Amino acid sequence: MDQVVAIIILLVFLFANVSMIQGSTRVGFYSETCPKAEKIVKSTVESYVNANIGIAAGLLRLHFHDCFVQGCDGSVLISGPSSERTAIPNLGLRGFEVIEDAKGKIEAECPGVVSCADILAIAARDSVVLTKGLSWSVWTGRRDGLVSYASEVLANLPSPTDSVSVQKDKFAAKELTTEDLVTLVGGHTIGQTDCQFFRYRLYNFTSTGNADPTINPDYLAELQRLCPADGDATKRVALDKDSQNNFDVSFFRNIRNGNGVLESDQKLWSDPSTKSLVQMYAGALGGLFGLRFELSFAQAMVKMGNIGVKTGTEGEIRKICSQFNG
Ligand SMILES: *[C@@H]1O[C@H](CO)[C@@H](O)[C@H](O)[C@H]1NC(C)=O
């Protein structure tokens, strides 16, 4: 019973907050002009995720990387010399073919109507749902951007070696709070990273000759086995130990227990300004705290999805997601 009351309070809290966000996108932007758009994205994402569940995390990450550079405008999807895709932090991105496939099917149904930026935002939501996370209504009406510069990627995207203070600054630059930061990093509950992005923590961290002391000793042995000092730099390791395909709070419990893989994730537990949020999401009171995370994640995704959106007559509706109409 208490849980039911808490759920109702959380729902009221969620909708009250969302309605206050002043974006220019809205739920159901294509309900008249392309009513099948969301269904087409969903079935396309489903078929790829069923074949390879890792694609779900890839699509969520692709949306995130899109939004942090030039806003959520599909700029990350452009291919070609010196586009965002060619920047080092974007080299491991995956899921482009899913967006292009959904775009092709939607163009056949209603040409020139649905933006690639919106397809990506819908695909990110569907990916969370397919990994058993909570759904939300995606606000649509974004238009596709007209530029994509590799040179803008590094300064805008958070990096695995960023301090909490730098991570907070990068989120604040997009009008996202510290709570949004911790919540959105929770997206690491699904997916993997490469040995090269954390191996420096395992052997000679900050030239001490030892591993990062914040790594749980049991887990350190496992990570060292997975990523030998001279092994394959591109070998993939789960970001959320033992739960990489389930969208849940296990990621926060892993952080609390010293089982974070990326340095920037583990630091959320060292910094007093983020520790309490990790603690809350990791909370042991069963489903309730899981729900709190999932509702907050949905809310933070709507907020992130409104970063720098182009609407109305700005930008264009691309015909092919990897190319400007030009
Ligand atoms: C750790 O790195 C420092 C600086 O590069 C180096 O001087 C030292 O020998 C290394 N220690 C080990 C145990 O590899």
Atom of ligand 1 nearest to the CA of 208: 1
If you take atom 1 of ligand 1, which residue's CA is the nearest one? 207
**Cα of 207 to ligand 1 centre, how many Å?**
5
Q: What is the mean pLDDT of the chain?
A: 92
**Tens of pLDDT, residues 301-321:** 999 999 999 999 999 999 999
Residue type, 60: L
**Tens of pLDDT, residues 142-193:** 999 999 999 999 999 999 999 999 999 999 999 999 999 999 999 999 999 9
Coil, strand or helix: which one is 83? Answer: coil
> What DSSP assignment string belongs to 164-194?
HHHHHHHHHTTT--HHHHHHHHGGGGS-EEE
Dig out the tokens for 250 from the structure: 């296990």
**Tens of pLDDT, residues 25-41:** 999 999 999 999 999 99
The segments of the chain whose pLDDT lies below 50 read: 1-14, 16-23
pLDDT of res. 18: 47
Task: Write down all domains in the chain, each with its CATH number in brackets.
Answer: 186-298 (1.10.420.10)
Coil, strand or helix: which one is 144? Answer: strand
pLDDT of res. 24: 81
Q: Which residues line ligand 1 (CB under 6 A)?
A: 204, 207, 209
**Cα of 105 to ligand 1 centre, how many Å?**
54
**Cα of 205 to ligand 1 centre, how many Å?**
9
Active site residues: 65
pLDDT of res. 301: 98
Q: For a substitution probing ligand 1, which of 203, 204, 205 has the most ligand atoms within 8 Å of its CB?
A: 204
The answer to whether the beta carbons of residues 115 and 142 sit under 8 Å apart is yes
